């Protein structure tokens, strides 16, 4: 059965356990960072389950919680590659939720927190998908625009090796004009992020020569 929020499919982090209710999950989020994987795993799985909830509010809380907990966990817990990719899959699915701009906004913010903690091999080909999808929100409403530019700045700052050349070409041929158009953006989060692109392109030397 298709959930009310239009999302389909079981979350890739699912395991056989009873998901806690959102209030319990919220309490866990307020607790000290869970450093043992055996404790952390079911919480992440519960949040992944709730990201498919029929309630957009519950889904939004789950996506936000997943981003916060995953970003903190990646600093302190040795997580398997398949679980890192599963987290990215959950957030990428949520970013495509056409029924709620709030869910999309929190997904963009969560991805920015998670991507900055990952290595290039962890993100893999998802880097390209995130990059191309993120720029579709550059001309959207204020909150989405701000979150999209922030995430794009994180991608520019973290790009290494194989994705550096892709992103350099993407910015200089497709995105740079749109970035320049937002230099006078009323949202400071949007126009301040241009520093990341200046730094990235200056290192590449693509538009300065």
**Same domain as 76, residue 143:** no
Mean of per-residue pLDDT scores for the chain? 76
Query: Does any domain span residue 207?
Result: yes
What's residue 16's pLDDT? 34
Query: Does any domain span residue 106?
Result: no
With beta carbons less than 8 A apart as the criterion, state whether 69 and 29 touch. Answer: yes
**Same domain as 96, residue 2:** yes
**Same domain as 45, residue 125:** no
Phi, psi (5° rounding) for residue 10? -80, 145
Query: Does any domain span residue 40?
Result: yes
pLDDT at residue 34 greater than cutoff 80: no
What total of structural domains would you count in the chain?
2
Q: Sorting pLDDT into bands at 50, 70 and 90, what band is 79? A: confident
**Same domain as 89, residue 3:** yes
**Same domain as 94, residue 41:** yes
132 CB neighbour count, 10 Å cutoff: 12
Query: Does any domain span residue 108?
Result: no
What's residue 17's pLDDT? 32
Query: Does any domain span residue 144?
Result: yes
What's residue 11's pLDDT? 46
d(Cα 35, Cα 40) in Å, to the nearest integer?
7
* Residue after which a domain boundary falls, among 65, 100, 135: 100
**Same domain as 78, residue 30:** yes
If you ran DSSP here, which 8-state letter would residue 33 be given? P
Segment 68-85 mean pLDDT:
82
* Residue after which a domain boundary falls, among 71, 100, 129: 100
**Same domain as 70, residue 132:** no
Segment 164-183 mean pLDDT:
77
Q: Note down the domain range covering 164.
A: 119-209
What's residue 195's pLDDT? 55
Percent of the chain with pLDDT over 70: 68
**Same domain as 145, residue 90:** no
**Same domain as 158, residue 92:** no
Sign of CA dihedral 53, 129, 110, 137: negative
Q: Sorting pLDDT into bands at 50, 70 and 90, what band is 40? A: confident
Query: Does any domain span residue 35?
Result: yes
**Same domain as 96, residue 124:** no
**Same domain as 127, residue 92:** no
Choice between 202 and 173, residue whose per-residue pLDDT is larger: 173
**Same domain as 165, residue 125:** yes
Q: Sorting pLDDT into bands at 50, 70 and 90, what band is 190? A: low
Q: What is the pLDDT of residues 43-60, one digit of tens each?
A: 888 999 999 999 999 999
What's residue 197's pLDDT? 59
Query: Does any domain span residue 191?
Result: yes
What's residue 157's pLDDT? 82
Query: Does any domain span residue 111?
Result: no
pLDDT at residue 98 greater than cutoff 60: yes
């Amino acid at each position: 059965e298709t959930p009310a929020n239009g999302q389909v499919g079981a979350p890739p982090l699912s395991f056989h356990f009873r998901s806690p209710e959102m209030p319990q999950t919220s309490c866990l989020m307020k607790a000290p960072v869970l450093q043992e994987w055996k404790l952390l795993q079911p919480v992440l799985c519960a949040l992944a389950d709730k990201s498919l909830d029929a309630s957009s509010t519950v889904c939004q809380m789950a996506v936000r919680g997943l981003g916060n907990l995953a970003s903190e966990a990646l600093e302190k817990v040795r997580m398997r590659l398949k679980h890192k990719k599963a987290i990215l899959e959950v957030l990428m699915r949520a970013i495509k939720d056409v029924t709620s701009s709030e869910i999309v906004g929190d997904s963009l913010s969560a991805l920015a927190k998670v991507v900055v903690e990952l290595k290039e091999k962890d993100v893999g080909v998802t880097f390209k998908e995130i990059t191309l999808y993120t720029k579709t929100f550059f001309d959207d409403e204020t909150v989405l625009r701000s979150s999209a530019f922030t995430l794009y700045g994180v991608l520019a700052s973290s790009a290494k090796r194989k994705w550096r050349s892709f992103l350099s070409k993407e910015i200089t041929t497709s995105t740079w004009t749109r970035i320049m158009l937002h230099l006078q953006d009323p949202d400071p989060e949007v126009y301040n992020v241009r520093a990341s692109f200046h730094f990235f392109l200056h290192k590449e030397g693509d538009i300065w020569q």
